[in-house]
């Protein structure tokens, strides 16, 4: 996990994510660097748009409970609930794609 954090730190600072830069950060944090992991991460991140990955990974704000509605509003609420469920499924699918991509980084 520290390798990913170091990569995000470099990205946030506007620095290039290279083996050398990552190694400096990890060593400064007192972490023994695994060269194989380092090379694999740098190679994998070259194909990733980090900004887009971060935007896709941001969790949605928690939804609040809706107070009890009048009988005429029940049908409208059902439609809203269906839309919310569709959105949640889309978000879950996006999170699964991200998780699958990150799992590929670490084998």
The enclosing domain of 41 has a CATH number of 1.10.10.1410
Q: What is the pTM for the complete model shown?
A: 0.51
Question: Into how many domains does the chain fold?
Answer: 1
For CA atoms 56, 39, 2, 7, give the dihedral sign: negative
What pLDDT score does 31 carry?
92
| Planar angle of CA 14, 92, 38, nearest 5 degrees | 40
What pLDDT score does 93 carry?
73
The answer to whether 98 touches 57, Cβ cutoff 8 Å, is yes
Give me the domain span that covers residue 34: 2-106
Query: What gap in Å lies between CA 106 and CA 4, rounded to an integer?
Result: 10
Query: What gap in Å lies between CA 76 and CA 35, rounded to an integer?
Result: 57
Q: What are the tens digits of pLDDT across the range 75-100?
A: 777 778 877 877 777 777 777 776 66
Nearest to 91 by CA among 50, 51, 49, 63: 63
């Amino acid at each position: 996990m520290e390798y990913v954090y170091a990569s995000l730190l470099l990205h946030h600072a506007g620095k290039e994510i290279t083996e050398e830069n990552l190694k400096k950060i990890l060593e400064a944090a007192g972490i023994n660097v695994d060269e194989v992991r380092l090379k694999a991460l740098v190679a994998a991140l070259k194909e990733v748009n980090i900004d887009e990955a971060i935007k896709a990974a941001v969790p949605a704000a928690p939804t609040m409970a809706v107070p009890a509605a009048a009988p005429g509003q029940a049908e409208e609420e059902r439609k809203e609930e269906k839309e919310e469920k569709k959105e949640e499924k889309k978000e879950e699918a996006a999170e699964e794609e991200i998780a699958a991509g990150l799992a590929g980084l670490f084998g």
